[in-house]
Amino acid sequence: SAVGLVLGCVGSSLCLRSCDEGELSPSTAGRGRHAGPSAAEMGDCALPFLALGRIKERTVLAYYSAHDSEEQTQNFKDTFKKVLGAAATKLQGGQRTRYQWNAGAVCCLMDEQGAFLYCLFTSTLEYPEDLAYQLLDSFRVEVEKVDGRVEAEWGSLTYPLQPAMQELVAQYEDPANVAPEPLPDP
């Protein structure tokens, strides 16, 4: 695609892998080195990054990073922008998917209208996928309460959504502390 992202299937999950040249291409589980922070670099944080983007203009509207490192945060944002670009052509309204990234995953949920993409980065593939989508659905509910989201500019929703994003990440950080809810069919 135009943004250099190709989605490939591994089982029932879509995966992405960053090649040495910085391009994204299909990956198979457990093969290759992925760009971005390793699990060790992400520390003990199970949920290092949460983001919201508007698909039409590929605009990052809000993000929360559990890290103080600007370099790690920038890496998450850059990867999210690539996923956001690919979502415009690869996903449909209401669809959700999970990409392999590093030792972890990027779980994505597109709203029903196909206007917004909600993404959660996990530091390991073992983080329960159902809980990741539960968090993203709760995040979607919070975003829908914000006026002006349709016209919002780059990053302008980070501040108003920061408390909700921080609270959701803290709540879901330890899967043992969250009761899973049934998810709607994809």
User: Is there a contact between 102 and 24 (Cβ–Cβ < 8 Å)?
Assistant: no
Three-state SS at 87: helix
Q: What is the pLDDT of residue 97?
A: 93
pLDDT per residue over 143-178, tens digit each?
Answer: 988 877 767 778 778 888 999 999 999 999 988 888
Q: What distance in Å separates the CA atoms of residue 54 and residue 159, rounded to the nearest whole number? A: 16
Residue whose structure tokens are 């670009």: 85
| Sequence spans of domains, the chain | 45-177
Q: Give 45-177's CATH code, choosing from 3.90.1150.10, 3.30.450.50, 3.30.43.10, 3.40.190.80.
A: 3.30.450.50
Which residue bears the tokens 């980065």? Answer: 121
Please state the pTM of the whole predicted model. 0.75
Contact predicate 119/83, CB 8 Å: yes
Distance of CA 137 to the CA centre of its chain: 12
Please list the residues that pair with 109 across neighbouring strands: 96, 118
Instruction: Tell me the per-residue pLDDT of 77-99, one tens digit each, with 9 for 90 and over.
Output: 999 999 998 998 899 999 999 98
Complete DSSP assignment for 136-165: HHHHHHHHHTSTTTTTPPTTTTHHHHHHHH
For residue 181, the model assigns a pLDDT of: 67
Q: Say which residues have a Cβ less than 8 Å from residue 157's Cβ, sequence separation at least 6.
A: 52, 61, 62, 143, 146, 149
Bridge partners, residue 98, by sequence: 107
Torsion of CA 51, 55, 56, 57, to 10 degrees: 40
Strand segments (E) across 47-101 = 49-54, 59-65, 96-101
- Determine the Cα angle at 71 with ends 111 and 1, to 5°: 45
Instruction: Give the best-scoring range by mean pLDDT among 37-41, 135-139, 177-181.
Output: 135-139
